[in-house]
Amino acid sequence: MDLFDNIVENEPRNVQLAPGAVLLTGFARSFETPLLAAASSVVECAPFRHLVTPGGHRMSVAMTSCGTAGWVSDRTGYRYTAIDPETRQPWPPMPDAFVDLALRAADKAGYANFRPDACLINRYGPGAKLSLHQDKDELDFNAPIVSVSLGLPATFLFGGLNRNDKTARYRLAHGDVVVWGGPVRLAYHGVLPLADGYHPLLGSQRINLTFRKTR
Ligand code: SIN
Ligand code: FE2
């Protein structure tokens, strides 16, 4: 399937991407104010930065984290850390508004009692992209991944358990939430280069929150 499935915006729908993966359109919309305020407070303590991959490439997406673990990448590899290597302080605690939304979205998708300990905050400017990858640095693959899109729309790629599996494309707009776990917890996914545009709340950027249970 290669369709922009959620064409009718403003109308919340649950779109199954695969068994175990669901797109909840507009789910986070009514939480936009507390979510964006909470994200700003995290970024004040742990600023966005462009991480370097083990291969030496500077990522086009700027990232930061909150929670008891934060995701980092450098020449030595990918991992979760308790301390932000930039600030040398613990990552900011996960805001209540984040925990609350992640729990509700996971619940709606059929994953009860989701208790994330890490939230990676991704900032995409025009042209920024995330290559196809698996979220596999966590120790607990029983918990799902909850991904919240805010600001400019993006094209999300969702594939299978092998890198070469066919990927489907979904348009993720402001307020959309994708939850994947169970049989597709290790599905390959990515984001195509962000098209330029203007969002009334976020200007020419997209913010993505991904919640994980790392241990
Ligand atoms: C991610 O895979 O960590 C982010 C996905 C997204 O930005 O939608
Ligand atoms: Fe990911």
190 CA from centroid of ligand 2 (Å):
7
CATH of the domain at 43: 2.60.120.590
Q: What percent of the chain has pLDDT over 90?
A: 93
As given in the structure block, the two tokens for residue 155 are 């094209």
Residue 71 forms part of a structural domain: yes
Residue 83 forms part of a structural domain: yes
Q: Convert the pLDDT of each residue in 1-32 to its tens digit.
A: 455 554 555 678 999 999 999 999 999 999 99
Average pLDDT of span 104-110: 98
Q: How many domains does the chain fold into?
A: 1
153 CA from centroid of ligand 1 (Å):
12
As given in the structure block, the two tokens for residue 25 are 């359109």
62 CA from centroid of ligand 1 (Å):
12
Structural element, H or E, at residue 32: helix 32-45
Residue 67 forms part of a structural domain: yes
**Ligand 1 in reach of 130 Cβ (< 6 A):** yes
Residue 79 forms part of a structural domain: yes
Query: Residue 173 contacts by C-beta under 8 Å, 6 or more apart in sequence?
Result: 6, 9, 25, 26, 149, 153
Containing domain of residue 168, as a range?
Answer: 14-212
Residue with tokens 């994708």: 178
pLDDT at residue 77, rounded to an integer: 95
Residue nearest to atom 7 of ligand 1 (CA): 208
Residue 1 forms part of a structural domain: no
Residue 3 forms part of a structural domain: no
Ligand nearest to the CA of 120: 1
Ligand 1 atom with the smallest distance to the CA of 124 is: 7
pTM (2 d.p.): 0.94
Closest CA to 186 of 156, 148, 212: 212
Residue 2 forms part of a structural domain: no
Closest CA to 157 of 131, 128, 190, 183: 190
Q: Convert the pLDDT of each residue in 161-195 to its tens digit.
A: 999 999 999 999 999 999 999 999 999 999 999 99
pLDDT at residue 3, rounded to an integer: 54
